[in-house]
């Protein structure tokens, strides 16, 4: 306690000294404003701590203030406490100390959803669907998945005991696991999707992403001498290390090519990055798959491929994150991850979205985006992400699938399915044929969901009631709601093929983990089929890439 008071006194003296110096040097300048507001902040904090009617948690109160301050900047500038450092290590290296299992809330319970193959949770026999009852003897009731995940993480070699309840059994299972260094592969799958087209999935730009992509391409070429096209899948890849974005580009781009520049407030930190190595193959036909979940380093790679006319982009417009973050120490083993620069790809454009709403980039009309030129003179635009050369409709099913997933109905159905099926055929051979059983399961759970259209109509109904217009439009409102309800009843049948595909991926994931899920997903992937057709039509590729 004395130490804390002493730190506070030293801090206040330092601040008062800073105020004095700033006042003498520039009474109306920026530094005076900084010092003044820091003093106001500490005075306010002291008054609340001393006189507020209830006891407060100083750390929680300060964290609220820090988060609110950084939230006013951009979604990527964040405070990282000492307890969250392990998460940053995972984001950059793809590894962490723990048991290798994801936890999420299903209903009111914390449930294991993804035990990673080959790590302590899976080796101990834990399965997706297991309900967590206690961790190290302490009840998990009321704990969030994040709270439980934090306890499961720890230094490799230490032990943790988990008590779970398996669906279909009233018995509780207690397992003690030794934490290991868990490594999540950034290239979880690579293989041939046709006789002459290879496929590489890259899920994150952690350490060795470039090497792993290069190794996958080399292996596919060696095992399949007739390969003439390659698909690099960056869908859902939220980015990672800038250096690995350069290395991944270098797999297909010649040595010495400038691929990205960073510019920020501190001019000494501005950098220009070139590829350093000989490419694996700078001539093979190339398609890069992107979507709205492709961000940051994914946008560097896809933007480089497009700007240099090296390959064709297929999918949806990317997220729009053209910012570079660095971490800075702020004391007591905590850090701040802050945006220090914007990046610019070969054409000179920055694809950063200029504004956000609820943490998501706001769409920018093409007419308001600046034009740039690729190597062959094609027009490309800055701001708001990278627009694919072949723009396809978002394959997501919208409300029906989102609602099934939000209510964990597919997850729970597959948990019951797994209890009845100890084994299934190989991933490539498995087919789910009991859709009637799924519909029966969904009906028993009383599945219902609200479409965006219904939400808007309900909002209109409330507003019209407040403004006394409801009587004038109530018949039209009822007719519109009835039509939507009638159409909704057919959604589960209308989207049978797509929902079946999702069920198949979830089932195969329980037996063959992430590799199996990807393999099943490729089987019905319309964007993969589009890419294969394109790679078998060199004339069309040439026509797309020319001015």
Q: Which residues are catalytic?
A: 296, 307, 321
Residue 204: how many other CB atoms lie within 10 Å: 23
Listed residue (308, 285, 299) closest to 387, CA to CA: 299
CB-CB neighbours of 317 under 10 Å: 21
Query: What are the Cα distances from residue 470, in Å, to 5, 349, 482?
Result: 62, 50, 17
Identify which of 8, 169, 180 has the alpha carbon closest to the alpha carbon of residue 101: 180
- Is 348 in contact with 67 (CB distance < 8 Å)? no
499-510 CB burial, b ≥16 within 10 A, e <16: bbbbbbbbbbbb
DSSP string covering 45-82: HHHHHHH-SS---HHHHHHHHHHHHHHTT-TT-EEE-G
CA distance 232 to 249: 11
For CA atoms 23, 29, 31, 34, give the dihedral sign: positive
Query: Do 99 and 119 form a contact (C-beta atoms < 8 A)?
Result: yes
Of the candidates 538, 185, 545, the residue with the CA atom closest to the CA atom of residue 377: 545
| Nearest-angstrom CA–CA distance, 291 and 394 | 8
Q: Which residues contact 528 (CB under 8 A, 6 or more apart)?
A: 193, 199, 231, 289, 522
Alpha-carbon dihedral 49, 54, 57, 60, rounded to 10 degrees: -100
Q: Cα 277–295–325 angle (5° rounding)?
A: 75
In total, the chain counts a number of residues equal to 547
Q: What are phi and psi of 343, to 5 degrees?
A: -110, 150
Question: DSSP assignment, residue 240?
Answer: B
* CA R_g for the chain: 27
**Residue 135: its H or E element:** strand 131-135
- Residue 363 carries which DSSP code? P
Q: Is 42 exposed, middle or buried (0-12, 13-18, 19+ CB in 10 A)?
A: middle
Cβ atoms of 381 and 371 within 8 Å: the answer is yes
What Å distances lie between residue 231 and 290, 302, 312, 331, CA to CA? 11, 12, 10, 45
**Max CA pair span of the chain:** 79
Query: Do the Cβ atoms of 259 and 231 come closer than 8 Å?
Result: no
Q: How far is it, in rounded angstroms, from Cα 506 to Cα 512?
A: 10
């Amino acid at each position: 306690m004395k130490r804390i008071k002493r730190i506070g006194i030293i801090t206040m003296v330092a601040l008062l000294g800073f105020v004095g110096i700033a006042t003498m040097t520039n009474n109306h300048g920026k530094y005076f404003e900084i010092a003044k507001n820091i003093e106001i902040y500490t005075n306010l904090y002291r008054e609340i701590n001393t006189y507020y009617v209830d006891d407060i948690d100083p750390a929680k109160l300060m964290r609220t203030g820090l988060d609110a301050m950084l939230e006013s900047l951009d979604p990527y500038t964040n405070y990282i406490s000492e307890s969250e450092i392990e998460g940053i290590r995972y984001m950059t290296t793809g590894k962490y100390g723990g048991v290798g299992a994801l936890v999420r809330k299903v209903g009111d319970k914390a449930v294991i959803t993804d035990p990673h193959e080959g790590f302590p949770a899976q080796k101990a026999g834990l399965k997706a669907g297991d309900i967590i009852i206690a961790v190290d003897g302490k009840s998990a009731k009321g704990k969030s998945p994040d709270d439980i995940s934090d306890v499961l993480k720890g230094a490799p070699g230490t032990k943790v005991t988990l008590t779970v309840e398996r669906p279909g059994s009233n018995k509780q299972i207690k397992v003690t696991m030794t934490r290991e260094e868990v490594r999540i592969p950034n290239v979880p799958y690579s293989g041939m999707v046709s006789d002459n087209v290879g496929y590489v999935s890259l899920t994150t730009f952690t350490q060795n992403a470039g090497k792993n992509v290069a190794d996958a391409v080399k292996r596919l070429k060696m095992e399949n001498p007739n390969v003439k096209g390659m698909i690099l899948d960056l869908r859902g890849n939220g980015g990672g290390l800038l250096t690995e974005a350069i290395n991944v580009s270098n797999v297909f781009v010649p040595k010495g090519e400038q691929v990205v520049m960073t510019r920020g407030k501190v001019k000494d930190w501005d950098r220009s990055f070139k590829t350093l190595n000989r490419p694996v193959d700078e001539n093979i036909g190339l398609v890069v798959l992107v979507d709205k979940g492709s961000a940051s380093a994914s946008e560097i790679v896809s933007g480089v491929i497009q700007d240099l006319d090296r390959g064709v982009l297929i999918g949806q417009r990317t997220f729009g994150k053209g910012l570079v973050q660095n971490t800075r120490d702020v004391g007591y083993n905590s850090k701040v991850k802050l945006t220090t620069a914007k990046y610019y790809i070969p054409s000179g454009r920055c694809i950063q979205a200029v504004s956000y709403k609820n943490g998501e980039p706001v769409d920018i009309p093409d007419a308001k985006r600046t034009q740039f030129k690729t190597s062959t003179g094609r027009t490309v635009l800055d701001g708001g992400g990278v627009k694919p050369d072949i723009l396809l409709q978002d394959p997501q099913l919208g409300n029906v699938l989102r609602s099934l997933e939000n209510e964990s109905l597919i997850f729970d159905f597959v948990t019951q399915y797994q209890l009845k099926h100890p084994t299934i055929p190989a991933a490539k051979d498995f087919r789910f044929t009991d859709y009637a059983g799924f519909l029966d399961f969904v009906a028993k759970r009383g599945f219902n969901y609200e479409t965006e259209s219904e939400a808007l109509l309900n909002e209109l109904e409330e507003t019209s009631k407040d403004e006394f217009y409801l009587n004038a439009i109530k018949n039209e409102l009822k007719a519109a709601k009835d039509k939507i309800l009638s159409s909704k009843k057919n959604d589960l049948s209308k989207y049978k093929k797509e929902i079946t595909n999702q069920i198949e991926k979830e089932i195969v994931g329980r037996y063959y983990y992430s590799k199996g899920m990807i393999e099943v997903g490729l089987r019905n992937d319309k964007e993969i089929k589009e890419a294969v057709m394109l790679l078998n039509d060199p004339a069309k590729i040439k026509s797309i890439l020319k001015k």
